[in-house]
């Protein structure tokens, strides 16, 4: 039996593993895909302390894995089912069943995609899902932001720091975002709008260069591009998909995210949640890592106070 099983090997899970393993707890991290989570698909990471211009997301993920692997076991398996309610937790994967005294959930949240032609082709070649990560790479360019929620509008304002112009493309003429953010966007001279518009296709050659839009009211098709022909930035913020499906019947989930207290405890004893899958305001790598640290320390205290 493991002391701790961590489900998900992004920055939150790897940090939890590092802290748990260094506390001499028998720790297993189970990752279904590649370690690093969303960060592994980010071109460069400039906003994590110590990572400088040559730090690629993949490189940073690999270094985190190397560091954590000294203290925790890592298996690449898909978790299919969990039994969390008893004192001993069971985690069933595609390859077998594992038992632990504590489970830390760090399954993350993936950015919802538009699912249009060109979106995959130009990912990291003009298309981004993270303004804080990638905004500086689009300095002086015309940027298009897709979405009408708080994320889209707040990130649009942030992107005006770098962009020549920012155009918000939204499928309705009213925004889901809170009123004060909408007011700030409307007051910003650098921000323009393409409303009642859905993205049909993103086009380009080596980089994204234009977006084909369809007007939802008139059916008109038009192509938007940079003022002076050239590369554009396309930032897509159409919501998140937290990876909570297998926990839905057991854990308290609010707004789609697992609810925790500030010690990362969920409503079930011995079960903690960290990183982007957790309900919280700031979803950044540095806050994910912080969650992982807190959860490992909380879990250690839980183990000290309970006998098996």
Residue with the CB atom nearest ligand NAP in the bound state: 149
**Ordered DSSP codes for 235-252:** EE-S-EEE--GGGTTTS-
Q: Is residue 257 within the footprint of ligand NAP (CB under 6 A)?
A: no
Contact stretch for ligand NAP (CB under 6 A) within 70-78, 141-149, 223-231, 290-298: 141-149
Contact stretch for ligand NAP (CB under 6 A) within 42-50, 65-73, 99-107, 234-242: 234-242
Residue closer to ligand NAP (CB basis): 5 or 177: 177
d(CA 193, CA 173): 10
Q: Is residue 242 within the footprint of ligand NAP (CB under 6 A)?
A: no
Residue closer to ligand NAP (CB basis): 14 or 181: 181
Query: Partners of 76 in the beta sheet?
Result: 31
The helix or strand, by DSSP H or E, that contains position 259, with its residue range, turns out to be none
Q: Which of 187, 205, 255, 304 binds ligand NAP (CB under 6 A)?
A: 255
Q: Is residue 149 within the footprint of ligand NAP (CB under 6 A)?
A: yes
Q: Is residue 287 within the footprint of ligand NAP (CB under 6 A)?
A: no
d(CA 154, CA 137): 18
**Ordered DSSP codes for 74-134:** EEE--EEEEE-SSSSEEEEESS-EEEEEEEEE---EEEPP---BTTTTTBTTTEES-HHHH
Residue closer to ligand NAP (CB basis): 40 or 151: 151
Give the x/- contact pattern for ligand NAP in 189-208, rule: CB under 6 A.
---------x----------
With a CB cutoff of 8 Å and minimum separation 6, the contacts of 212 are 199, 200, 201, 202, 203, 221, 222, 223
Q: Report the greatest alpha carbon distance in the chain.
A: 68
Contact stretch for ligand NAP (CB under 6 A) within 81-89, 90-98, 171-179, 219-227: 171-179
Q: Which of 239, 244, 293, 297 binds ligand NAP (CB under 6 A)?
A: 239
Q: Which of 68, 151, 287, 298 binds ligand NAP (CB under 6 A)?
A: 151
Beta strands 97-105; 89-93: pairing state: antiparallel
Q: Is residue 147 within the footprint of ligand NAP (CB under 6 A)?
A: yes
Residue closer to ligand NAP (CB basis): 39 or 114: 114
Task: Just list the catalytic residues.
Answer: 130, 133-134
Measuring CA to CA, which residue among 274, 275, 284 is closest to residue 133?
Answer: 284
Contact 94, 77 (CB under 8 A): yes
Alpha helices in the chain (DSSP H): 11-22, 57-69, 131-134, 150-159, 179-187, 285-304
Q: Which of 129, 237, 247, 272 binds ligand NAP (CB under 6 A)?
A: 237
CB of 56 to ligand NAP, least distance (A): 25
Q: Which of 46, 62, 73, 150 binds ligand NAP (CB under 6 A)?
A: 150
Contact 39, 64 (CB under 8 A): no
* Residues at the interface with ligand NAP (CB under 6 A): 114, 147-152, 154, 171-172, 176, 198, 237-240, 255, 281
């Amino acid at each position: 039996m493991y002391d701790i099983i961590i489900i998900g090997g992004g920055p939150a899970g790897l940090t939890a593993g590092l802290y748990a393993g260094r506390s001499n707890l028998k720790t297993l991290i189970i990752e279904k895909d590649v370690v690093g989570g969303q960060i592994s698909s980010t071109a460069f990471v400039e906003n994590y302390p110590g990572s400088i211009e040559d730090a690629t997301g993949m490189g940073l993920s690999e270094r985190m894995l190397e560091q954590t692997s000294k203290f925790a076991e890592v298996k690449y398996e898909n978790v299919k089912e969990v039994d969390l309610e008893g004192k001993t937790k069971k985690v069933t994967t595609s390859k077998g069943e594992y038992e632990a005294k504590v489970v830390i959930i760090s399954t993350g949240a993936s950015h919802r995609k538009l699912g249009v032609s060109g979106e995959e082709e130009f990912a990291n070649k003009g298309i981004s899902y993270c303004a804080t990560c990638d905004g500086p790479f689009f300095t002086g360019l015309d940027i298009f932001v897709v979405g009408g929620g708080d994320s889209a509008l707040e990130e649009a304002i942030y992107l005006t720091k770098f962009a020549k112009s920012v155009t918000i493309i939204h499928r309705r003429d009213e925004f889901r975002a809170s009123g004060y953010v909408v007011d700030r966007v409307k007051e910003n001279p650098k921000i323009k709008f393409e409303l009642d518009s859905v993205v049909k296709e993103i086009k380009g050659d080596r980089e994204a260069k234009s977006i084909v839009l369809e007007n939802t009211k008139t059916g008109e098709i038009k192509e938007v591009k940079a003022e002076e022909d050239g590369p554009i930035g396309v930032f897509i913020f159409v919501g998140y998909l937290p990876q909570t499906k297998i926990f839905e019947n057991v854990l308290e989930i609010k707004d789609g995210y697992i609810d925790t207290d500030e010690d990362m405890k969920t409503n079930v004893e011995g079960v903690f949640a960290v990183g982007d899958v957790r309900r919280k305001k700031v979803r950044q790598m540095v806050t994910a890592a912080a969650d992982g640290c807190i959860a490992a320390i909380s879990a250690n205290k839980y183990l000290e106070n309970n006998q098996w």
